Chain A
Amino acid sequence: MTRKSLPKAIRPTNVKLVQAVVGAVTDDDHSTARAANEAIETEWAQHLSSTVPANDADVSMSSNFQKMTAKRRVLAGRIVEQNGTLAALSGLAPLPAVNIAGVAAIILRMLKQLSGLYQVHFERDRTRSFVIGVLGGAAPTGLAAATVSTIGLVAPVPAFLGLAISALTAAAVTRAIGEVFIESFERQAPLG
């Protein structure tokens, strides 16, 4: 998809104002007028990496911060569960193309929600490529399940078996990707 080329919203005459603003609003008292996103993201990443390392009980954290990160982890788990369920439902679609497209869309949605929760910049194009890559890698299994599900519709005996396999596969793939991304975000690793 081609993207329109748009002029800048911030006028050149406002550049000094932006610099003054960035210097005034950054959270770090020692910073000057450096890019706030860099300052804030780095600061947040450092804060997290220094206060919420996995399995490091020796680091002291404020109870507020502990509660906050625990709550975030619970919310993240809920997002993965909900989207896993949706993926399972999508996996019930008897047409392989619809099935895979549906699961891909749900995974994308889940990753967008997770990146929002963890304040990681969501790059739709990059994430889409990642999801397509993952689903492409899983395609033989997915197609096998989808084929079984399609045959299952024709053959009366295992009519629901194929659909069940397809749904379970979709849910498992979605949940696995979700868990991997949660772990990645918890460690502040970059998206994709």
Chain B
Amino acid sequence: MVGTIITVATMKGGSGKSTVASCLAVHWHLRGRQPTLVDADPQLSIMRLAGRERALGGVAVIEDATDEAANTARRLAASGSLVIIDTPGFRSRTALDCLAAADFVLVPVKPSPLDVDRMLDTLGSLSNRPGGQRSLVRCVLTQTTRDSVIARHIRDELTAAGLPVLNSEMVNRVAYPEAMLWGATPSLISWKGPAAREIAAMADELDVVLGAQQAAA
């Protein structure tokens, strides 16, 4: 059985890649799955979280910020694991290789024109994949101000342009940095809290997309 590689990527720093990757991994871990996080970001944010008290709830974390990160993920996926890769927030060989290795690319984007620009650059690199290989991609709005005009404006514009955007989004909440103090995510601290519910909604949406892909395969 071959597992799935989810690459969380965008060529811009501070967009929430590590947060999205860790939150999804912890959520699925709590739901009884066994995801593995590959920290391919030289900032090692995931590794630092895993080094704190709650250690991301026991999610398996592998540090590989080298050019071999994509191969590491492929090896793990070959053994049937669900692999989530946190990539560097800039254009690099590692980031491009991890994009190429992905079964699914999740692109966090803050509701800001600068993030949108870099998101397009990130997705643009997918259009240059060898053999014209297509990727299953979704963008997810992160760090949004709830019900703000700018968040709705960016969402509407991305959707109108034909870019695939998840319905769920990660609202900017103190629950994230607070949970990080313990090396946790909101799902571990307050399973029924609003942040955890948003993470659950995003994970469920991804399950539907990935399930549809597997059903079609």
Contacts and interface: CB of A to CB of B under 8 A. Distances in A.
A155 interface: no
B134 A24 contact: yes
A55 interface: no
A38 B134 contact: no
Interface residues of B, number: 42
Interface string B165-195: 1011000000000000000000000000000
Interface of A: 3-4, 6, 8-11, 14, 17-18, 20-27, 29, 33-40, 44, 47, 51, 61-62, 64-65, 67-68, 71-72, 75, 113, 115-117, 119-122
Contacts of B116: 9-10
Nearest to A28: B134
Interface stretch (B8-16, B17-25, B121-129): B121-129
Given A18-B162, A21-B123, A29-B134, A75 B214 contact: no
A6 B153 contact: yes
Interface in B37-62: none
A51 B211 CA distance: 13
Interface of B: 105, 112-113, 116-117, 120-121, 123-124, 126-127, 129, 134-137, 149-150, 153-154, 157-165, 167-168, 201, 204-205, 207-208, 211-216
B125 to A, nearest CB: 9
A40 B164 contact: yes
B212 A44 contact: yes
B136 A72 contact: no
A75 B207 CA distance: 13
Contact of A47 (B153, B207, B216): B216
B215 A119 contact: no
A142 to B, nearest CB: 27
